Structure 1
Amino acid sequence: MSEDRAQISIDVGVLLNQVHSVATERLNAALQPMNLTSRHAAVMFLIRDRVETQRDLVVRLNTDKTGMVRMIDDLDRLGYISRTPSTNDRRVTILTLTASGQVALREAQQHTRRVADDVFHAVDHDDLLAMRTTLRRVLRLDVSNGNIL
């Protein structure tokens, strides 16, 4: 008798959560000497990819505004981002990486790749591609513009 689809779905959800926890813990440990966390790195990656406002970061990372303010303040204090008033809307601040932020992001990316390689070392290339495709389908990711529907 084959396993129940609902139970398999639950198991997959639990396993995804466990993989996320392990990867986050390892990445946080790797980034700690830089005074960064995985959340800081995620914010920096998105700013690099032209997610320029705090509001857009909150939506993309599915987080609360207060937590995002702390992230932005931390990155500003470290000198990794700059805040510029929008020319279109004076209530909006445009976020960009500074030169030192770009250097820090490259270092964070090296740590991210190392941790990802470590976490997924037992998964071959084709299985990783299939996993990514499947997860995008689950999230109904619009690959053409990177937005979750």
Structure 2
Amino acid sequence: MACEPPIPHTKDSLGILLGLVRTEIVRAMEAELAAKGVDLRFTQFLILKRLARLGPMSATELARAVELDGGAMTRQLDQLERKGYLRRCPHQQDRRALRIELTAAGEAMWQELVGCNERVLQAAQRSLDEAERDRLHDYLERVLLALRDKT
């Protein structure tokens, strides 16, 4: 039996607690992917999700959106391109640049994964009632805005 780290109980541990929540979401999502027999890691799932929700973008924009460095993004894009889920297309206004977009197979894969994503997020919030979920989202949005506020 694996020994899990204790859940922090002090107010000083917000960063640790957020990190542990993210780790468990990643673990649960990868378990969902494996159960479906889908050969994707969490980062690749995030890339498909961002492209499905935001549309085509540059590799730099996509790397920023999923928090990867350029080299790691290139490796992930190569793997997803080999699997037929995305393609690199010339940018219409800048012929030096490429846009990353989902293929029909990538869009179909995303549609297959939407349910996995929803199950994991619902499970993460199952101990909360609707009002608590709303408050949690409000608190996290406010924390995010405060961190992004440069003034």
Provide TM-score, normalisation by structure 2. Answer: 0.81
1:88 deviation in Å? 1.3
- The one of 74, 77, 99 aligned to 1:69: 74
Instruction: Give distance in 1, aligned partners of 2:51 and 2:104.
Output: 13
Instruction: Give distance in 2, aligned partners of 1:123 and 1:116.
Output: 12
Distance change (3 Å), C-alpha of 1:88 and 1:94: same
1:113 deviation in Å? 0.9
Structure 2 counterparts to residues 73-92 of structure 1, below 5 A: 73-92=78-97
Identity fraction in percent:
24
Q: Which residue of 2 aligns with 1:44?
A: 48
Moved more, 107-116 or 44-53: 44-53
Q: Which residue of 2 aligns with 1:28?
A: 30
1:120 maps to amino acid? Q
2:45 maps to amino acid? A
Instruction: Give distance in 2, aligned partners of 1:71 and 1:137.
Output: 32
The 8 Å contact of residues 33 and 39 in structure 2, kept in 1 or not, is answered as yes
Q: How many residues align?
A: 136
Instruction: Give distance in 2, aligned partners of 1:83 and 1:137.
Output: 36
Query: Cα RMSD over matched residues?
Result: 1.8
Structure 2 residue matching 1:121: 3-state secondary structure: coil
Gaps of 5+ in 1: 1-6, 142-147
Instruction: Give distance in 1, aligned partners of 2:77 and 2:137.
Output: 29
Gaps of 5+ in 2: 1-9
